[in-house]
Amino acid sequence: MDLKRMGNQTVVFANPPVILASHSVVGPKEGQGPLRKTFSKVWKDQLHGEKSWEVAETKMLQEAMQGAIDQVGFPKEQIDFMLAGDLLNQIISASFAARQMALPFIGLYGACSTMALSMAVGSMLLDGGFARNVLVGVSSHHDTAERQYRFPTEQGTQRAMSAQWTVTGAGSLLIGKNGTGPRITSATIGRVVDYAESDVNNMGAAMAPGVADTILNHLNDLQRKPEDYDLIVSGDLGAVGLGLAAELLKKSGLDMGTKFTDCGVMIFDASQDVHAGGSGCGCSSVVFAGDIMQRIKIGELKRVLLVGSGALHSPTSSLQGESIPGIGHAVVIEA
Amino acid sequence: MDLKRMGNQTVVFANPPVILASHSVVGPKEGQGPLRKTFSKVWKDQLHGEKSWEVAETKMLQEAMQGAIDQVGFPKEQIDFMLAGDLLNQIISASFAARQMALPFIGLYGACSTMALSMAVGSMLLDGGFARNVLVGVSSHHDTAERQYRFPTEQGTQRAMSAQWTVTGAGSLLIGKNGTGPRITSATIGRVVDYAESDVNNMGAAMAPGVADTILNHLNDLQRKPEDYDLIVSGDLGAVGLGLAAELLKKSGLDMGTKFTDCGVMIFDASQDVHAGGSGCGCSSVVFAGDIMQRIKIGELKRVLLVGSGALHSPTSSLQGESIPGIGHAVVIEA
């Protein structure tokens, strides 16, 4: 069998996996943003009746995954793998959701890039012949992430203007070997790139080099130009990181034009006081499962490049003086 | 193309991937244990000249991966993916090692089951036609893990007799599509199983049900019996968990006989004061990369079932009163 690869980093699917269903659940703030009508469900508050934010995040992820399952006409037993991850230590939201789903579980960690990473790995398992269907689910929760990564949530610490707002949201996709729907046609797994940014209030700057590196390699591997895509969307660089990524790409001779945007820029508007935009792996998962999937389905977007961006640090590594390694994972989705 | 699956949970490789090289690096305590002669390198102390245990763990993982690469006669550019994980929050040991390796990086989290999970996913990517070679690397470090999961290391808190000793070790495998060496012939991805054990000093009890579930499903899927294996080895249940898993399997009508053992039981002896045995994802990674690989190569073992066992909790989930979800991932390695 020939290798399903092109160039250095890109895999190309022989039988592109099909996105059979998508579901997104978000918190109240996301439900007031510009994409509010594209989400499957908006929670009225951050706890949703649970005893802790962590339990609420697990429930949100379960709800998103169950929502995707409910849209297809086959039993859960036809799903061969669940691929999931989140931002919490030991990815407990995904692990506890996996306990409830009782499906063979592959835990992934790519920080905010986890959605694109899960879609890429899931697609390889499908196209490789190892599964009939896979369930992808990725979440973040503003309050669980803030208190783990930064300050006690109740403290109300003033945020830097370059800081992003961790999205409360869970997105899920049910991807199949057969069926009709948008297809995942290729994927580019990123390398870690670190430009020595160490400011944890400026994740966008830390992740921009990794995203730029993956976009360059992706286009080079497939011999494509930015114009070959209707949308190139990172998730989630925010406004600061998006500008920096565009600048880095320009220095490499690539003008990204107006079709280059970011899930963290799309999900909130200026009036919502989120500074540089949204972040957290829930952000790209709900923007993709919501808005982008809708626009692909109605024919507005024919070919999309989703580039998940991850800041692969921890509070411990930052306190020990390490810089923040960034990574970008890309998947191509076609109508 | 037909599905490469048998039964409910098991994938069977059409062209079984080949383990081209293995390398293991351990700390001083592991270097004094019964398997001391099987490790590639033993460090003299836990810090190895680094400024923190966390930096030392990253260096240990890099050293193990470089050691595997150095054994093959091709350049690093022929390695298409690095699959790695560890126990630390946000898998920083793997992420920082990935920064140095500069290979397309897939971050995985399966707690102590991460080695078997990485081998399984890596093998699917190879057999699926997405890579020529993949590099697998998994580590844990006693002092980084203890202070993150339990108590300040310097405090010297007395340990329960059911507690296991987190291994300081990093194991790496270079697995290829072509070449000669032991082959990975099938894999069974586990489901989360939770029998409501919530004692974080008894991980073996928390993980035993997940391991038993995966062994039962694996044997059932392939219509095999325990006698079809020269060794069935979990990693890492310790003495308490191994006994419980054997008991659970016996209740399901399966007598595991004397070929069922555990990496956590193998790595230390009674004189080393480790109570229930070793644990941490470095344990099964170095026992497999060291002792088990050697015994396969000299022909002592023809067919091995490695069942990684993971306790998918976090200190936060335990403090919030959650029980500990367990999982088992299995891979079959044949001479």
Question: Are residues A242 and A140 part of one domain?
Answer: no
Nearest CA in chain A to B85: A109
Final residue in a domain of this structure, among A176, A200, A229: A176
ipTM of the complex: 0.98
pLDDT of residue B1: 54
Q: Choose, out of A130, A188, A331, the residue to mutate when testing the contact with B (most B CBs < 10 Å).
A: A130
Same domain membership, residue B325 and residue B205: yes
Spans of chain B below 50 pLDDT: none
**pLDDT tens per residue across span A122-174:** 999 999 999 999 999 999 999 999 999 988 888 888 999 999 999 999 999 99
Residue B153: what pLDDT? 85
> What gap in Å lies between CA B115 and CA B267, rounded to an integer?
16
**Are residues B324 and B242 both part of a single domain?**
yes
- Token digits of residue A14: 């022989």
Nearest to A121 among B96, B106, B131 (CB): B106
Inter-chain contacts counted by CB atoms under 8 A, chains A and B: 188
Q: Is B64 on the interface with A (CB under 8 A)?
A: no
Q: Are residues B85 and B167 in the same domain?
A: yes
Q: Domain check: are B111 and B213 in the same one?
A: no
Number of domains in chain A: 2
Look up tokens 């929050």; give the residue: B89
A111/B contact by beta carbon, under 8 A: yes
pLDDT value at position B250? Answer: 97
Suggest the residue from B3, B89, B141 to mutate for an interface test with chain A (most A CBs closer than 10 A): B89
pLDDT score, position A29: 98
pLDDT tens-digit series, residues A256-267: 989 999 999 999
Residue type, B12: V
E strand or H helix at B183, and its extent? strand B183-188
Cβ contact A42:A30 at 8 Å: yes
Find the domain containing B321 and state its range. 183-334
As beta bridge partners, residue A310 has A327
Of B161, B176, B191, which marks where a domain is finished? B176
- For tokens 């991966």, name the residue: B65
Which of B156, B176, B196 delimits the end of a domain?
B176
Mean pLDDT of A203-207: 94
| Structure confidence at residue A153 (pLDDT) | 85
Helix (H, G, I), strand (E, B) or coil at B30: helix
CB contact under 8 A, A325 and B91: no
Q: Does one domain contain both A162 and A195?
A: no
Mean pLDDT of A285-311: 98
Same domain, residue pair B20 and B155: yes
Is the pLDDT confidence value at A251 over 80? yes
Give the C-alpha separation, A103 to A98, whole Å: 7
- pLDDT for A156 equals 85
pLDDT at A1: 54
- Verify that A193 and A140 share a domain, yes or no: no
Summary mean pLDDT of chain A: 96
Shared domain for A117 and A196, answered yes or no, is no
What tokens were used for B34?
Answer: 């019964």
Name residue A83's amino acid.
Answer: L
Query: Which DSSP symbol is given to B108?
Result: B
Question: Does residue B107 sit in the same domain as residue B199?
Answer: no
* B132/A96 Cβ within 8 A: no
Residue B190 near residue B234, CB atoms below 8 Å: no
The pLDDT value given to residue A154: 86
Selection from A208, A199, A213 nearest residue A242 by Cα: A208
Say which CATH number the domain at B78 has. Answer: 3.40.47.40
B197 & B250 share domain: yes
A243 and A261 co-located in one domain: yes
State the CB neighbour count (10 A cutoff) for residue A227.
Answer: 10
